[in-house]
Structure 1
């Protein structure tokens, strides 16, 4: 009970804090029959004149899913597990089936479905990307039949959606055949990264569970390096509870690359690499973060330390120079780049160059930094002042 109360308190203050950053806009649509309202959440610190860009999440049904999704993005960003995001909530028609519920006889879009699809693609996305500082990373989020609508964006000849988050999905009986028509293996030709999340739940009917399970098994059989299939099963008696669990689980997977290197990531992707490959992995991780999410993080010190042992202990430390140069490239204000370059030269007995880089690194440090004295000891040890 105490844990739940703390969560509710957090969400309350989160909603209160972001309530002043929501912009409401009415789009005069050429596709859907009536004008539609959208809500646009701009994260704390958003500055239209700054160079920073933000991933974009389009949430179908702003009535309830919008606020819940924002609450999770605020928490994930605060914990450095995901970048801050611009979130757009879409007003649905009063009869939701008109927008997203497909023809049950063949699984195809109705005329109204196609209009809503084009509205999202050609008007909502165009408006938001034209007026706000969005990065190339786009997520679509929907629940129920809206998840089926989202899945149909896989049909695009030129993929432009990175993350498909299908919560408590109501798919057509023909979704398996449609997925084959979408020819998902073609995504591996794209120089981009994609995520497709679906959840099953014990709260669903047996028929629905079976349908989702079959789809998940089919998707799991695909081996597409840059197309990450996330098949989730949520054990709950309540479909509403499944929504509250699915969102953070999806975000955790979709933004895994953004997070600092975890023990699992190190064990799976890094520990067996050569020093030069470990350096490349770390460099590419941060280049991807900057490109996809518009977040120039520099480089986290904990990630530097995560691969340090590989660089120092393998190949006699010969890659220390490249390691230091990579850090300086991504994080020029960090003293660590100069430290590793200095260590490289010291181990090669080139004391003059080692001392030079130790001094440059120390000059970047705040005297109040608790590590400053230890860093200065390198200078004293080599006879410098």
Structure 2
């Protein structure tokens, strides 16, 4: 428990580098004021055309900070895109916000108003003020985790990813979710977490729900279930959030060793075509473009050299010049292409030109000088 607390404190301190705004919101649907917490990405510039995923966090009075810290931390290391995180405080309104009818088990009265507040007021407001994409995530804990399921049942769900941390499931919810996810036509991520020391009644329903999810045979649904050891109803939050974000943005992540071995090296059309496909898939799935990262260029270059794929090296050098014109990256990979073609004169020229450019995370003057000296020794 102490370790989890320290991790949460670390993540919260990390998020201090991002911009956090605390503001009231007067809702017509609710007929009252609500307090919002909004975290903008580091160096957020409203004039940029970059669009960011939107994470809506219910129970924001205590759940916002863990989500904000994790989102900022993972984005810092390129494990997920920078995101805008919005927490809705419910400390004094939780019971009425999350109310559902005890006969039909759908939101009613204040619960119906809160349901509409999220979709018809809060999200349009955030979209009008900030650069958010259509890729939206919603998250909740116990009662609020149950509540977010209701957004699945709209003809066109406003959320693409659902994070349920120890949900306190309403009657018939498990069956309804299983039936809905079996037919949903939009790529949807659905995450549930419980723990060995979770509240007994909740865990029994969650485990049963997980068993019913086994009947979902829909390629559009990306489902993950975690049952954490040595955790309880509250500490599982600190374990579930990074796992959920990790799964949601698994496609976005830089190429790792497994992806390199299983996909980059085996792709029938070659490593560069795999790179193009990966980034096209990111745009298709998430609805926004990702700038090519140096890690992925390195991986594709290594695969191209190993497979002696000169076309891939040529295309990679063109991409490097386009995406990183002021960086040593462009010179290094262009020089690598010409060196592989045994055009040492052009290779040397590019390596030398690179000395005037900006170093990258992986390429510096020493690397370029090593290449220069090696070529000169050959002559």
Residue of 267, 271, 277 corresponding to 1:273: 267
Please, which of 183, 203, 207 is the counterpart of residue 209 of structure 1? 203
Q: Counterpart in 2 of 1:254? A: 248
Describe the SS at the equivalent of 1:313: helix
1:90 CA displacement: 1.2
Aligned: 1:369 with 2:365: yes
Report the CA distance shift for 1:177/1:2 in structure 2 as closer, same or farther (over 3 A): closer
Residue 304 of structure 1 aligns to a residue whose secondary structure is helix
The whole-number CA distance in structure 2 between the counterparts of 1:282 and 1:368 is 24
* CA shift for structure 1 position 17: 5.5
Distance in 2 (alpha carbons) for counterparts of 1:59 and 1:114: 18
Work out whether 1:323 is the aligned partner of 2:321.
no
Q: Distance in 2 between matches of 1:202 and 1:341?
A: 54
Change (3 A) 1:168 1:176: closer
- Structure 1 residues 333 and 227, CA gap change in structure 2 (3 angstroms): farther
Gaps of 5+ in 1: none
Give distance in 2, aligned partners of 1:336 and 1:15: 30
Residue 228 (1) aligns with residue 226 (2): no
In structure 2, C-alpha distance between the alignment counterparts of 1:158 and 1:304, rounded to whole Å:
37
Q: Are 2:213 and 1:219 aligned?
A: yes
CA contact (8 A) 1:14 1:74 kept: yes
Distance in structure 2 (CA, Å) of the matches to 1:159 and 1:265: 31
Q: Quote the offset at 1:103 in angstroms.
A: 3.0
Change (3 A) 1:368 1:267: closer
Check 1:368–1:96 CA distance in 2 against 1; reply closer, same or farther (3 A cut): closer
Question: Hey, what does 1:151 align to over in structure 2?
Answer: 149
Contact 2:178-2:215 at 8 Å conserved across structures: no
Question: Would the alpha carbon gap of residues 5 and 24 (structure 1) be closer, same or farther in structure 2, given more than 3 Å must change?
Answer: closer
- Partner Cα distance (2:98, 2:270) in 1: 46
Structure 1 residue 167: Cα displacement: 0.8
Aligned with 1:99 (options 97, 102, 111) = 97
Q: 1:267 to 1:215 in 2, by over 3 A?
A: farther
Q: 1:164 aligned to 2:130?
A: no
TM-score (norm 2): 0.83
> Which runs of structure 2 are paired with 1:1-150 in the superposition (5 Å)?
7=7, 10-11=10-11, 13-14=13-14, 21-29=20-28, 31-92=29-90, 94-150=92-148
Q: Which residue of 2 aligns with 1:314?
A: 307
Query: Is 1:282 aligned with 2:272?
Result: no
Can you list the C-alpha shifts for 1:323-367, whole angstroms capped at 9, x where unaligned? 333444444445445544554455445566656655665554559
CA contact (8 A) 1:102 1:109 kept: yes
Deviation at 1:125, TM superposition (A): 0.3
8 Å Cα contact 2:166-2:203 kept in structure 1: no
Ranges in structure 2 where 5+ consecutive residues have no aligned partner: none
Distance 2:91 2:6 in 1: 35
Distance 1:40 1:269 in 2: 38
Local SS of the residue matching 2:125:
helix
**Does the Cα contact within 8 Å between 1:54 and 1:293 map onto a contact in 2?**
no
Alignment of 1:343-362 (within 5 A): 343-348=336-341
* Inter-partner Cα distance in structure 1 for 2:277 and 2:378: 34
Q: Flag the 1:313–1:221 CA change in 2: closer, same or farther, 3 A.
A: farther
**Distance (whole Å) between structure 2 residues aligned to residue 67 and residue 308 of structure 1:** 39
| Distance (whole Å) between structure 2 residues aligned to residue 42 and residue 341 of structure 1 | 37
User: Is the Cα–Cα contact under 8 Å of residues 138 and 148 in structure 2 kept in the other structure?
Assistant: yes
| Per-residue deviation, 1:174 | 0.9
Per-residue CA shift, 1:277-327, capped at 9, x if unaligned? Answer: 432332343455578486754422x32222333222326544322233344
Q: Distance in 2 between matches of 1:265 and 1:75?
A: 22
Q: TM-score, normalised by structure 1?
A: 0.82
Q: 1:195, CA displacement in angstroms?
A: 1.6
1:198-220 deviation digits (Å, cap 9, x = unpaired) = 11222235543332223223334
Preserved contact between residue 174 and residue 209 of structure 2 (Cα < 8 Å):
yes
CA distance in 2, matches of 1:2, 1:90: 27
